[in-house]
Structure 1
């Protein structure tokens, strides 16, 4: 090209011993490009060499690059996709992360001009910009430092500005951008920093002007990646297996904790068979998932602050239905939806519960999906601190009415007792009992809600020949009966209703002791970063006041109940006591682990049907219990 160490001065560039204007440089570059078609490649190859920068340049080299990029911007009409393939390949392979500010600006200008000049270049320009979502490996370590973060902002601001400019000038560009972004998305086994920085750009696209066309796709792709990471975490990664038990016999056992006053850490090891956050320590997949969920929660928070959450939530619900709802092994990804609901109790929170109830009651929906939906619904109604009591009661009324109507249509002539044939029904019954284990006392303290609860046909459902108490999970049945007796919720005699063993073969076949999927979806979140978003809006079992609890001798450290007698439509519970303090992280973590330890999945002794008050040592509620499968009703 004949250019030697040019410097910029008053709009002119020094070339050899003389000065030429910008327009003359452009003319010269056009001539070089035209000579290629005539077989003269010498100066062309020099130009290509200038574009081949794979690392940070010296100031003189940077100046040469800037001059060349600006000249090419003015000569884009002379660039041919066939004759200048090597030049285009060099340009599209450039990394802004290796360029100075002037070079980045010149490169962005060239990419935009190329995209606008010809439809042949649009995809390649978009792909080049998307590739610049990610830094080169040499830059990656510096992103944890202040200087690296500043560099990241400089690059990504220009990348996204270029994407918006191309979208404004080329109307079809956003639609062509979507598959490129999805294809370039790092896989689950990529480094955490790469996945996080890429997803940051995806969410930035979602909230930009381009998001009007690609936003839903970006958000759904992020949820898909959360699920991909979630299912990579095996239960063996979060459960310590007792070698004397089968994997399906494990339960959440009591954890003996000693808080060290100096550092607030839990002193003792977890027992085998325990579910704990500690077991995920050092799990790289869990750490990736945690970081992405933190990013998603921050994005949802910003959407709420900007008034976009209701619109974004529509996409989130759609993604949940398509991806999360039927993901059998999902453990934590669903908390993104939970957090979104907590940000908008009046709209999103109620919409999610209604959606789940509708899915459960839709006869054309596959049984497994209906069972999953009611499992999510039960867990959500039980754990959502932001849900008003009146709303919980209204959803319970729908569930109970559905179960009652099911018993009315049941063929009384059926001879063989087959729980699998009525699995949707049993899932609904189990969901009702599970929610009441968490909410019964709260409901009976509000006069009109107590009236509603006591006039629901629960008794008729439970004494029906389908016998849900014999099929549903024993630990749920026992806790429910214990609270129901204390309420008292039933008028019939105990011996008439409950005269069989809780831990029956039917319960095992349906989804009891011998299934790993006994876990409710919104069990306490074990991911460290994500937990700080969930915890303030989450009901732990240790926080629940059961109907049989003595107020004066209540062992619970926290009272989650709002005074519903004074405010029946309270959208959130009030935390009392000294133990539950969001600001005191160490004490909070101890209480979090303690709440897990108090929730045993299965009874530790053989139990007879009868009200659990008969037993000397009542067992605790399970943390997560997902029912098994159901009929087409």
Structure 2
């Protein structure tokens, strides 16, 4: 093939109107590389001019560039980093997004040849390929058009193919690649398309051949970036303006606005709720939303090919090291929730067990244990895919630990000294607010629940009812009374002033008592993945709901425990089997049509003073407290 260049551009003077065959151009390139070492840099500078030129290339100029790159690939042994630094810099600054397929292929061939020729170039070659993860800024607008997306596919396919080839030729390349990827990862202030495309490439590497060596560290880096974005979102962006509302009174308006979501077909997003509209225009929330969708899709693809279990172990370690320790993470934790929903029997069970182990163990600091049990309570309450039988088994572990704790305590209320204990008690009540009806509807599980010394815990001088959040206590006691869970429920009357004082002190300045990590996701695109497996309060059947269903009689269990001492009941609870039983998920059907969003007021239900006598309603969304002192 002959190549002819006719140009008035600087640097092309000696090559104007000259015909070159491919072999002649190869010799010309080699001579240019050699001559610069002898002090003659004219041909060398012309070669650099060919590499530098990117805009408005004519067909002949494209042909010359392709042939020059191929010639350089055959002459890499003549390239010396000391004499040809300008040429190397020009090559490594080239963006494949600016060229067509022929130039891309020739450039990739040259980069692979350079990487394989000498260890001196490997880092620069990898850095150049990673730089091509993202397009130049001028190209961002084209990504919304078909031709821009086509160019994106062309570029990224070649980038990842080159990385695989280099890894095959240089076995240590993946380990050299990892720090480059982490260093060049866009920060939270980068434009959304840039950070999204970059993370997309990171996840592509994780699922590829190099994933065995660097995949776990790549996943951890992605989760860390999710946390970085998460903490940039202010709580003021989430909390309602009306601070007089209780912790359970914030979702009903969203539920009413999205009641028709189930009628929509396909992947169309649900109708906007007021919570979603709150984040419209919040660039940080929108970035986080897009990255979560990327992670969800990646996890789904991992599940499809049977590698979710391995990926989940990495996510679990990252969760324990970063997410769980982040102060009131808002949305990043839903990566774990979605992974568990894809594989409930393995990932879903393991996640709950790990959280229970952290809480009941004594190795972790108190704040970490409190965070773990808050995650556990929120997860058990919200995960539709967890069978009630498994929830009961975890509750037995929590109640067992709390009861054992009380056996060594004889002091009075102290929210700071006993904060781990109070967090466990609150978790138990919180879960039962969501799950009590489904447990009571199955005779065997009801028996397990009545064997637990819940009543003994709440009667203990540590008085968790006076320390835990009043809205949780109120809802729990209402359901417990309707279910006849306690023998004498009227004993649970507490002074409002003491309750308010101690509940505010519970958890210290971190206010972990207010933290329910798996409250409904407020990010619109991410919510589409979470919603099918998520329990909203409006879907919960409470024990005091009036319906026509016939369940097993309460008396057949209550009668067996009436008059028995707390110690005997506690002893039975400690001996109860923790063995998991296989039950159909239909044991608790959260999507019944005949359910009441707002609990019905009952004149027979009065706990506490007149302030709580009207029975606070427990809303469908439980978010972090809106109490001013918690901010």
TM-score by length of 1: 0.84
Deviation, structure 1 residue 29: 1.4
Aligned residues: 575
Partner of 1:539: 535
Q: Structure 2: 5+ residue runs without aligned partners?
A: 7-14, 551-580, 626-631
CA shift in 2, pair 1:509/1:54, >3 Å? farther
Give the aligned CA root-mean-square deviation in angstroms. 3.5
Contact 1:521–1:624, Cα closer than 8 Å, also in 2:
no
Partner of 2:364: 365
| CA offsets 1:246-298 (integer angstroms, 9 cap, x no match) | 9999963753967999x99999996xxxxx22211211111111111011100
Aligned mates of 1:150, 1:279 — CA distance in 2: 34
Deviation, structure 1 residue 626: 6.4
Deviation, structure 1 residue 579: 11
Aligned mates of 1:247, 1:612 — CA distance in 2: 18
Partner of 2:387: 388
Question: Which segment drifts farther, 31-40 or 420-429?
Answer: 31-40
Structure 1 residue 462 and structure 2 residue 458: aligned?
A: yes
Deviation, structure 1 residue 239: 2.5
Structure 1 residue 450 and structure 2 residue 425: aligned?
A: no
Partner of 1:561: none
2:467 pairs, out of 459, 464, 471, with 471
2:546 pairs, out of 537, 542, 550, with 550
Kindly report which structure 2 residues correspond to 1:521-600, keeping only aligned pairs within 5 A, or say none: 521-552=517-548, 568-570=583-585, 574=589, 576=591
CA shift in 2, pair 1:167/1:56, >3 Å? farther
Contact 1:390–1:569, Cα closer than 8 Å, also in 2:
no
CA shift in 2, pair 1:499/1:280, >3 Å? same
Deviation, structure 1 residue 389: 1.1
CA shift in 2, pair 1:246/1:514, >3 Å? farther
SS of aligned partner of 1:419:
coil
Structure 1 residue 236 and structure 2 residue 236: aligned?
A: yes
Deviation, structure 1 residue 62: 1.2
CA shift in 2, pair 1:233/1:614, >3 Å? closer
Partner of 1:422: 418
Structure 1 residue 114 and structure 2 residue 114: aligned?
A: yes
Contact 2:419–2:507, Cα closer than 8 Å, also in 1:
no
Contact 1:479–1:612, Cα closer than 8 Å, also in 2:
no
Aligned mates of 1:174, 1:514 — CA distance in 2: 41
Structure 1 residue 152 and structure 2 residue 167: aligned?
A: no
Deviation, structure 1 residue 362: 1.9
Deviation, structure 1 residue 417: 3.5
1:615 pairs, out of 607, 613, 616, with 613
CA shift in 2, pair 1:568/1:533, >3 Å? same
CA shift in 2, pair 1:247/1:191, >3 Å? farther
| CA offsets 1:180-228 (integer angstroms, 9 cap, x no match) | 0011111111111111111110000000001011111111111111111
Structure 1 residue 438 and structure 2 residue 434: aligned?
A: yes
Contact 2:247–2:622, Cα closer than 8 Å, also in 1:
no
| CA offsets 1:463-489 (integer angstroms, 9 cap, x no match) | 111111110000001111111111111
Aligned mates of 1:571, 1:225 — CA distance in 2: 38
Aligned mates of 2:319, 2:510 — CA distance in 1: 28
Deviation, structure 1 residue 52: 1.1
Partner of 1:213: 213
CA shift in 2, pair 1:134/1:5, >3 Å? same
Deviation, structure 1 residue 386: 0.3
Partner of 2:333: 334
Kindly report which structure 2 residues correspond to 1:336-351, keeping only aligned pairs within 5 A, or say none: 336-351=335-350
Deviation, structure 1 residue 461: 1.0
Larger fraction in helix: 2
SS of aligned partner of 1:508:
helix
Contact 2:3–2:19, Cα closer than 8 Å, also in 1:
no
